[in-house]
Amino acid sequence: MRYAQLVVGPAGSGKSTYCSTIVKHASDSKRIIEVVNLDPAAEHFDYEPLVDIRELIHLDDAMEDEELQFGPNGGLVFCIETLLENSDWLQEQLGDVDDDYILFDCPGQIELYTHLSVMRKIVDLLQSWNFRICVVFMIDSQFMVDGAKFLSGTMAALSVMVNLELSHVNVLSKMDLLTKTARKQLDNYLDPDPHVLLADMRNAKSKWHEKYAKLTEAIGEVIENFSLVRFYPLNIKDEESIENILLTIDNIIQYGEDADVKIRDFEELDPEDNENYD
């Protein structure tokens, strides 16, 4: 069995920072976790990738081609589709190492996860190669400190869960950048209660809420009825916070449960020795 995290989320949500943080934390714990870069537009990251999609195709290749003439969004989709067409290349680059643990650092285009099928096909490929996968959906905590934005983020997370159909962990990144006031406010949202969200929106006296109050309440009921979305805060400056996230994901993908239990064989006591204990 092989293990993987599919790290997804909007642009700027901290996906690459999360990957480098997990790699460093694992190294300090004498664990080996590798990273695969699936973002053809990536410019800089603090880890050494095991596989880099840019060696196969770069976003600039799709945008500068005179026949294709893609924009940034269309170019990203084209690059991932090209990766799918060259799945043998990816499989060869990944190798076939049992019990390896890999983070797949994905592009920051939310459509790839919410409704397009291309990432679902990537998931199917990885599963056929014996990977047990958990989706890690990153979202910037700085944009989630009021009811309306949190409701929007919750629906985005729910869309990704429905589209990818995998075990799922929603992570609020950049908690270390929040003020104390914002952090206290965010604590009310970590396990979303639609009634709290709706009350906050009413108190904000939003013109949108006044006009579409029934729609907002209906969305809140969807969140409450299905109880599928929960967020885990991540502070990359707090080792305990990092360990809690990693432990949660390890439990979901059952990492380490297939390992043989080490049993120490005890020598049987000589009968004469037994007499000494009588």
User: pLDDT class for 277, splitting at 50, 70, 90?
Assistant: very low
User: pLDDT class for 270, splitting at 50, 70, 90?
Assistant: low
pLDDT at site 79: 92
Each residue of 88-115: pLDDT tens digit? 999 999 998 888 999 999 999 899 998 8
**Looking at residues 156-173, what average pLDDT do you find?**
92
% of the chain surpassing 90 pLDDT: 51
Q: Which of 136, 98, 138 is nearest to 255 (CA)?
A: 98
Mean of the per-residue pLDDT values of the chain: 85
% of the chain surpassing 70 pLDDT: 85
pLDDT at site 265: 47
User: pLDDT class for 183, splitting at 50, 70, 90?
Assistant: confident
pLDDT at site 104: 97
pLDDT at site 203: 66
User: pLDDT class for 153, splitting at 50, 70, 90?
Assistant: confident
Distance of alpha carbon 152 from alpha carbon 144, whole angstroms: 9
